[in-house]
Amino acid sequence: MSIILTSPLDMHLHLRDEEMLSTVAPLSAKSFSGAIIMPNLVPPISTKEALLSYKERILKACGKENFTPYMTLFFKPTYTKEFLESIKDDLVAIKLYPAGITTNSEGGLSGFDVEELRPTLTAMSELNIPLCIHGETNGFVMDREAEFVSIYEMLATNFPKLKIIMEHITTKESVEALDRFENLYATITLHHLLITLDDVAGGMLQPHLFCKPIAKRPEDREALRKVALEGNPKVMFGSDSAPHPQHAKESCGCAAGVFTAPIALQLLTELFVEHSTVEKLQAFVSDNARRIYNHIKVPTKRVTLEKEPFIVPTKYDNVVPIFATKTINYNIIKIEKIGDR
């Protein structure tokens, strides 16, 4: 049986820059119609000039693929309404990082004083610019996301017209928060649907499964699977595919990030088929995102998958993917690109 996905979207993607960008961007652009691009470069993307320059480099790396990079800014509480108005047509969202909580986030927010944030977040509300958040505190690593839920609640309450995306959620507490606030949405990764902390560190340490936020308990994974597999309209696929060179992963200072982009659609298909909910996959990988981000334009692309063995490559250039060398059950057999960028 063929499974056809129309205009799949990755709503949380890291493409890095320079040589790494050249390696990984074509892999996403081949099978996805578009992706929200994270801004945590060094230095972070925080000006219009930097945003447009980065977008140009991405498009060059993607070549002739029918793919749209949806650009984001690195959140700063000093953004004025005038500045946001000047850049509104060039970005899709703004990404907020707590300071030092993940890769290249040292320039992030060190506190959540609602009055300090009010001018920028009010302007974003008025201009319909969504706020994407990496939601973790600096507490004990397994509790960081659950502790951050109170901050999501504070922001959702104080800025009810602001669309807030809880990025790469990993806990049942975050899932439960979705139902409490109309303006809260979430992305869910492939790897958090598949693994728990036991897969990362229960036996021999698996560096290519180490990420932030860290994989959690089985009950957290089940909560994520429930909302994704049952078609909850407030969640969407965001890979958080985060490439690092092999030497940075296989070292005593292991970099955080799981590289999933080239096989994400194949593994998602396998998961949804296994749970007899493949009819919900289209919503998870495209339709929900298009409704939540109702101002984006999406190139039409049809991706056909079938059940046939596919051996995950050992690496792509110098980046090792999730489940390298393993055989998975679904493969992309055809990609139809319809229309121009």
Q: Catalogue the active-site residues.
A: 240
Q: Which residue has the tokens 């300071």?
A: 99
Residues across the chain: 341
Helix axes 114-127, 144-158, angle to 10 degrees: 60
Report in angstroms the alpha-carbon separations of 312 from 219, 232, 331: 28, 30, 10
Q: In this structure, is the dihedral angle defined by the CA atoms of residues 199, 321, 100 and 48, taken in order, positive or negative?
A: negative
* Token pair in block for residue 313: 């490559």
Q: Do residues 13 and 289 lie in contact, with contact meaning Cβ atoms separated by under 8 Å?
A: no
Closest by CA position to 69, among listed 310, 323, 326, 296: 296
Q: Which segments of the chain are extended strands (E)?
A: 3-6, 9-13, 34-37, 68-70, 72-74, 93-96, 131-133, 164-166, 184-188, 235-237, 300-311, 327-338
Q: How far apart are CA 2 and CA 247, in angstroms?
A: 38
Q: Do residues 13 and 238 lie in contact, with contact meaning Cβ atoms separated by under 8 Å?
A: yes
Q: Is 112 exposed, middle or buried (0-12, 13-18, 19+ CB in 10 A)?
A: middle
Q: Do residues 215 and 199 lie in contact, with contact meaning Cβ atoms separated by under 8 Å?
A: yes
Of all residues in the chain, what percent are helix, strand and coil, respectively (each to 5)? 40, 20, 40
- Could you tell me which residues come within 8 angstroms of residue 246 by beta carbon, excluding any fewer than 6 positions away? 315, 318, 319, 320
